Structure 1
Amino acid sequence: MTASDFWDFSTSVYRRKDVADTCLALQDRYGLDVNLLLYCCWRGKILTGEEMAAAIALATPWRDEVVRPLRRLRRALKPGFPPMPEEDVQALRERIAAAELDSEKLQQQALDAASGRKSAPKPEAAEANLKTYLALERISADSRLEALLTVLRAGAFPEVETAPLAISAS
């Protein structure tokens, strides 16, 4: 497995039906890190609380200092920025979007390098890891969250039929 395996997995999952909107809802409504959500699905083994906490500790400063500011700036430019020329603002926004994507890829490379990952993604590991991530972030389960995570898991493992993800039933 190479560092690009995580990126390739993530972009493949993200392109599947409803996953992009699901990830954005998990990010915007619950404050979750999409790269960490995808990491939970990709990792291939059930992480201990300490291992998940280490991944969060690795990802959080980069997300907070680099990824989120780029995202905020990109979103701020979406409606334009009069009196600046619209096409120039949108060209700048596209460059910022590319930088945001590059920053997310770097975050994934760091997670991959720290993981020592050797096994293929597994649905049962993904479910356990998602539950651990939510617990460490102190995110309370609700039916909307469980539905969103079920869509994410289905996107990560389209070949596997699974029941809805139940976070509260641990």
Structure 2
Amino acid sequence: MGLWDWALEVYARQPVAAACLHLQDAHGQNVPYLLWAAWMAREGRSADLKDAAGLMRRWDAEIGAPLRGVRRALKAPRPPVDDAAKEALRDAIKAVELRGERLLMESLEALSAPSGATVSVLDGLVAAAAASGDPPRRAALEKLASALEKPFG
């Protein structure tokens, strides 16, 4: 299964979404990058993590974080701006943000070597987080790994 389809499937599970958002908001991590690392571990793929982390950091600084910031800024009331019009703009930005995440994931997937020996999801997440230069506490990555390893049902 390709990265994007897999990511949509696992992110729909509440423990995965909650763990991802915690890593993003409390630890400054990039969710598409972490999901890519977990997918690579499960698929037995490899990539140059420093190159991937560099791509992710540039993308997040220039595109991902600014879009997220605008979307979040539009959450609060902004009188006299019409609430319905504001929400429509917020929804449009959310759609662009999601498209940006997909483009980042497709770019990361393109860096991935073909399947080989799998590694644990936690090991993949730890290695990717270390390559990003600012790894979160291991416990936060363990929560995400645990949520990702639960069977679908």
Q: For each residue in 1:66-91, what CA deviation from the matched residue of structure 2 results, as whole angstroms up to 9, or x when unmatched? A: 11111000000001321110100000
Could you tell me which runs of 5 or more consecutive residues in structure 1 were left unpaired when the two chains were aligned: 161-170
Correspondence for 1:16 among 13, 20, 23:
13
Whether the 8 Å contact between 1:23 and 1:152 is mirrored in structure 2 is: yes
Equivalence for 1:153: 145
How far apart, CA to CA, are the structure 1 residues paired with 2:52 and 2:114? 12
Corresponding residue for residue 123 of structure 2: 128
Deviation at 1:17, TM superposition (A): 2.7
Q: Aligned residue for 2:108?
A: 111
The residue aligned with 1:54 is 51
Cα distance in structure 2, aligned partners of 1:107 and 1:12? 17
1:36 corresponds to: 33
Partners of 1:15 and 1:69 lie apart in 2 by 24
- Structure 1 position 139 matched with structure 2 position 135: yes
What's the offset of the Cα at 1:153?
A: 1.5
Q: Deviations over 1:10-68 (max 9, x none)?
A: 111111132212111101111111111111110133757xx111110122211211111
The TM-score with structure 2 as length reference comes to 0.86
Q: Distance in 1 between matches of 2:24 and 2:56?
A: 14
Output the aligned Cα RMSD. Answer: 2.2
> C-alpha distance in 2, partners of 1:78/1:138?
28
Moved more, 34-43 or 125-134: 125-134
| Aligned AA (1:72) | G
C-alpha displacement of 1:119: 5.3
When residues 119 and 97 of structure 1 are mapped into structure 2, their CA distance, relative to the original with a 3 A threshold, is: farther
Conserved 8 A contact 2:44-2:115: no
Partners of 2:122 and 2:142 within 8 A in 1: no
Residues paired across the two proteins, number: 149
- Indicate the percent of aligned positions where both proteins have the same amino acid: 33
Q: Secondary structure at the match of 1:83?
A: coil
